[in-house]
Chains A and B, each alone.
Chain A
Amino acid sequence: MCGIAALQLRNPSLHPRMGSLLSSMLCQIVDRGPDSAGLAVYDTPGLVSDGTSTVSLLGKHHGMEIDGILTSLNDMLSPDARSTVKIIGDTTLISAAVPTALLVKAVGETLPASTIIGRGEHVAVMKGVGHPMDIAAHHGLESMAGSQGLSHTRMATESAVTASGSHPFSVADDLCLVHNGSFSNHATVRRNLEREGVVFDSDNDTEVGARYIASRLQQGDTLEEALINLGKVLDGFYTLVVTTADSMAVVRDPIACKPAILAETEDYVAMASEYRALAALPGIERARIFEPEPGKVYTWSL
């Protein structure tokens, strides 16, 4: 079992409440995965900003002082990039006014032993091991604003209970994936992707799904096409939620082994593993509530 709660806020007046709403949803799915958790938040002031790329790093200790990191980045990117380093809970966020790929390269060379868990101009990704609400509180989710938020509580099956095995997996710019279920042929798909030059950060089956989607998107698929292709290549049980800079997608495996329920209003689209995570959302009594059909890809754009 794992738990998922995701929220896309269509009405900008709700953006200041993103963190508190997502936190209230997360609270209701803790039972489904109490061992570890992760969060992705989009367009959160103070974490990301327009015209700037941000890289999220697992952990707050990287064997180098913040000044040393900044000196290295300034050498590589020029001081005009205005590089910054922030510690949020157990996550390090490094930002600079350069293209994301360039920042990823500079961070990778500066801190070769660190794991990049998020990248892009809009998203910040945070992960940890322990009680999901402790992880959320430690990172200050409650007070975060934003346009979209994605959370996952994990009950590990296919790989170890580690922060790097927590979801979401964010392996391309502003792209995040969370997964309830398990992929049974992930080792085969992993080998095929590795042959194409894809590099993995963990032994996790969901990372294979994320890297597969990123690979398809790079080859020109739309998000919907990438998820349809995923259904043809990856075998197993899954409810997946994928977020990008401005969209959210939900898909369940064709046998519908894993739950999902959606609530849609003019103000938001919310997805959760169970209805109780949606019960406290504003205007839920007027929302269109439905379970996604098995094997059908649903997408919503901001």
Chain B
Amino acid sequence: MVTLMAPDATAPTSDSSTDVRPGSDAGDTTTDLDTASVRDLNQALHDSVGAASWTVTKPGGKHSLAVGITADVDVTIEGHAGYYAAGMLQKGRVTINGNAGVGLAENIMSGTVHVRGDASQSAAATGHGGLVVIDGNAGARCGISMKGVDIVVGGNIGHMSAFMAQAGRLVVCGDAGDALGDSIYEARIYVRGSVASLGADCIEKPMRAEHLEELGALLAAAGRSEDPSDFRRYGSARNLYHFHVDNSTAY
């Protein structure tokens, strides 16, 4: 274990096997954010090569931690993260042993983000792919405009979740707030608890064998033990796809 202190930490330039540098594949690197800056952390993560492993201590709710990662790295944040943690993740796995602020894993492309606590609003917003697991609750607008990301929430989610969702799967082991799936296109939503209300054009749909199977796989991927048959499925009624002829007289 080494501690990243220097602000000029850069990618390894030599193949020296004795020199443990941030981002090398020689083991675990610890970055203490009491001393290192977020910019240094992210730059070092961007510069890392190989299957590196990172531990971030004293995050203190700082924003934009571990964003834009394009390397196959494991990042563990020991504490609470601020806004936009693990945003734009393209590769690797980010684990937050605490809560995450607004915009967790925003625009995630692939890889895995796991929050052991709660996540604030707009978790996994606009996510294109990958898996976002939140063990606790997620706030309002979870999965807003999701475009292919899979989201598994152990607790409840807030209002307007999966708003204008286009693709992907949202799994909620607790309850969902008001206006779930408002103006949804094609994402699939599975909720185990109650739904306060469904949004425009979102309806309950039957759970067929293929849905039980995909839900089982998502729960397993998230390390959860819920029974897929306890969930209900929601999705698009597809009534908002096209212009409604009755409105033609409005012009």
Contacts and interface: CB of A to CB of B under 8 A. Distances in A.
Interface of A: 28, 255-256, 259, 261, 274-280, 289-291, 294
A256 B99 contact: no
Contacts of B102: 259
Contacts of B63: 276
A275 B158 contact: no
B79 to A, nearest CB: 8
B231 interface: no
Contacts of A274: 61, 82-83, 101
A278 B61 contact: yes
B101 A275 contact: yes
Contacts of A275: 61, 80, 82, 99, 101
A256 B121 CA distance: 9
Contacts of B139: 256, 291
B223 interface: no
Contacts of B101: 259, 274-275
Contact of A291 (B61, B62, B120): B120
Contacts of B118: 290-291
A275 B139 CA distance: 15
A294 B61 contact: no
Most chain B beta carbons < 10 A, residue from A275, A278, A280, A294: A275
Given A28-B61, A256-B121, A279-B60, 4 more contacts: A255-B140, A274-B83, A275-B80, A275-B82
B147 interface: no
B159 A276 contact: no
A253 to B, nearest CB: 11
Interface residues of B, number: 18
Contacts of B160: 255
A26 B62 CA distance: 15
A276 B63 CA distance: 9
Q: Which among A28, A289, A291 has the greatest number of chain B C-beta atoms within 10 A?
A: A291
Contact of B61 (A255, A256, A276, A290): A276
Q: Which of A28, A255, A276, A289 has the most CB of B within 10 A?
A: A276
B82 A256 contact: no
Nearest to B160: A255
Given A274-B101, A279-B61, A294 B120 contact: no
Contact of A289 (B83, B99, B121, B159): B99
B158 A294 contact: yes
Interface in B130-168: 139-140, 158-160
Contacts of A28: 61
A279 to B, nearest CB: 4
B120 A259 contact: yes
B233 to A, nearest CB: 26
B80 A256 contact: no
A28 B62 CA distance: 10
B155 to A, nearest CB: 12
Contacts of B158: 256, 294
Contacts of B80: 275, 279, 289
Nearest to B177: A294
B81 to A, nearest CB: 8
B60 A276 contact: yes
